[in-house]
Amino acid sequence: MADRQEATVTLPSAPGSVSTARRYVAEVLADWGLPGGTDTAETVRLIVSELATNAVQHTRGQSPTFTVDVRLDRDQQLRIGVTDSHPRFPRRLPAAVQQDNGRGMVIIRCLTAEYGGRLFFTPTSDGGKTVWISLPWTVPVSAER
């Protein structure tokens, strides 16, 4: 396997794109050796779903698209980033018990930490940002790749 594998997709900032992003990442990871249906695969799908939902809901029309980047470095670290062109970085909001939303970053942060990873943000050159998760890659590399 190469030292680094990458896959990217850009989607419209529309609610239907969330499931497309989730499917795309699941297919990429399956191609890289992470079978669907495992706890890790389902956790990554949930994280991607939350990241994509945030990119659609919280950019307030200032980002017509969002981009999902999937990177695997030397079979050791998986990075997934969701980029939009809205300048404000995500922040943790207090979620009231009766509130239907506002828990996305808490979910992402908790799931990422549970798998030994981290969450971080980087600005883009056009004034937007990328929200990244980084997770250890524990899938053995098969000989046929």
Residue 40 lies in a domain: yes
Could you give the number of structural domains in the chain? 1
Domain that holds residue 9: 4-136
145 residues of the chain, pLDDT tens digit each: 568 899 999 999 999 999 999 999 999 999 999 988 899 999 999 999 999 999 998 777 788 999 999 999 877 999 999 999 988 877 665 655 545 555 678 889 999 999 999 999 999 999 999 999 999 997 765 434 3
Contact status, residue 67 vs residue 124, Cβ threshold 8 Å = no
Q: pTM for the whole thing?
A: 0.86
DSSP classification of residue 127? S
Give the domain CATH number at 108. 3.30.565.10
Residues 6+ apart with CB under 8 A from 2: none
Residue 100 lies in a domain: yes
Residue 67 lies in a domain: yes
Name the phi and psi angles at 136, rounded to 5. -65, 140
